Amino acid sequence: MGRIAFKMKLKPGYADEYQKRHDELWPELKKLLKKSGVSDYSIFLDTETNTLFAVQFQAGMASSQDLGANPVVQKWWKFMADIMETNPDNSPVSIPLKEVFYLK
């Protein structure tokens, strides 16, 4: 099982809305993530910079970042595009992070 981390950017003033949308995460998206091997997925917000920091465990080589062709993921991206920095296809601008320390 591997771990990955990445950062994304929330538009200013949307922290509460971002939290609300994730509190109400669609069941079909949860199922897809779990089926693809993603588990223990956390997203943190730096309120000073509106930077979102995500970390997840994954079985195999796939992560949530590899599910972009799935219609459920594309629908989620479109749903979130108004409150996040996105690419032209509505995917969130996501920057992989290099692990420099891990205490197990």
78-99 exposure pattern, b = at least 16 Cβ within 10 A, e = fewer? eebbebbebeeebbbebeeeee
Lookup result for tokens 């994304």: 8
Which residue shows structure tokens 């479109």?
Answer: 78
Choice among 22, 30, 34, 78 that is catalytic? 22
Q: Is 44 a catalytic residue?
A: no
- DSSP-derived secondary structure for 51-84: EEEEEEEESTT--GGG-TTSHHHHHHHHHHTTTB
What's the rounded Cα separation, in Å, for the pair 104 and 73?
31
Q: Catalogue the active-site residues.
A: 22
